[in-house]
Copies of this chain bind each other. A is one copy, B any other.
Amino acid sequence: MKAYNVAVVGATGAVGNEMISILEQRDFPINELRLLASERSAGEKLSFQGHNVTVQQLTEHSFEDIDIGLFSAGASVSKTFAPHAVNAGAVVIDNTSAFRMEPDIPLVVPEVNPHAVERQRGIISNPNCSTIQMVVALKPLHDAARIQRVVVSTYQSVSGTGRKAILELETQTRHIFNQKDILCQVYPHQIAFNCLPHIDGFMENGHTREEIKMVKETKKIMEDDRIRVSATTVRVPVFYGHSESVNIETEKKLTAQEAKALLMRAPGVRVVDDPSRNLYPLAIEAAGEDDVFVGRIREDDSIENGLNMWIVADNLRKGAALNAIQIAELLIQRGLI
């Protein structure tokens, strides 16, 4: 079996760490693992398959002999360095927003639009975490009944922002309990015991960029511009796991039972939905898991063909690192690499 040279760009970040774990857990066929990060982190050692791998400083020459570049170090790093990786012959799977909406660049969730990888010409984008988990759950319902409109409100964990945000929630919580003043360095307001209706920057129309990502990326991944999406994205004091309250309107009627049956056989979905035993998806239970969890599936009587559901996934895994590595696996399966 062929083995590949894989570079992880942003190796010391929350998603980079998760990528390394997942490559190991899934026995990804690796010849060389090259860990790349900024100058500040170069020299750190990270464990992979029982060995220490030294993090190297990312430069334009970092990609010699690399087959697959997994990028997760921010959009500006991707914009600067992904072209160097492609020129060196690598396929880049980019976890940032840098190229997602470029028409020529596939935006892929393997359970939803695996065929889109065929169009790749060096760069494949990994969607936003909130979008990935939503479309995995919506795809089987869209195929069966055509989704016309989605109204989604998110409950996003701090790990989506990165390692510093995880520390900020922890530190603020400790300080509140110890009656010390709290500092807000990552978020503009206290996140401990609070909810912030603000993820990514604000646009002129009052929406955040995160909200617009959910609108646009959903259409692109589902390959259907007729799906209308309204999103409100909210940061909550949870460490790992994004939850979403999703309301959909379909063209054809789907009962809750029909939707549940479709979701139970959908790839990458685990239905957890037994209210009589207080079973529904929970962020703390999704953390560390690969699946997208769906529950609270019920009919919304406020419209003719309405459904509500609660969708939860590990934002660092399915929402980022796992999805990227699944794309790499798809490239291998299809002989594209």
Which residues of chain A have a CB within 8 Å of any CB of chain B?
149-151, 153, 155, 170, 173-174, 177, 188-190, 193-198, 202, 205-207, 215, 228-230, 232, 234, 236-239, 243, 245, 247, 256, 275-276, 278, 280-284, 295-303, 306, 308, 310
Q: Quick check: A229 and B197 within 8 Å, CB to CB? A: no
B207, B281, B299: the one contacting A298 at CB < 8 Å is: B207
Number of copies: 2
Bound CA span A301–B207, Å: 11
B150, B202, B205, B296: the one contacting A206 at CB < 8 Å is: B296
Q: What are 17 A-B contacts with C-beta separation under 8 Å?
A: A149-B303, A151-B247, A173-B177, A190-B284, A193-B239, A194-B282, A195-B238, A195-B282, A196-B282, A197-B281, A198-B280, A206-B256, A206-B296, A206-B298, A229-B302, A230-B300, A232-B296
On chain B, the residues within 8 Å of A302 by CB distance are 149-151, 215, 228-230
Nearest 6 CB-CB pairings of A with B: A206-B298, A228-B302, A202-B275, A153-B153, A153-B245, A188-B278
Bound CA span A202–B236, Å: 24
Bound CA span A297–B197, Å: 11
Q: Quick check: B202 and A276 within 8 Å, CB to CB? A: yes
On chain B, the residues within 8 Å of A281 by CB distance are 197
B173, B197, B296, B303: the one contacting A310 at CB < 8 Å is: B197
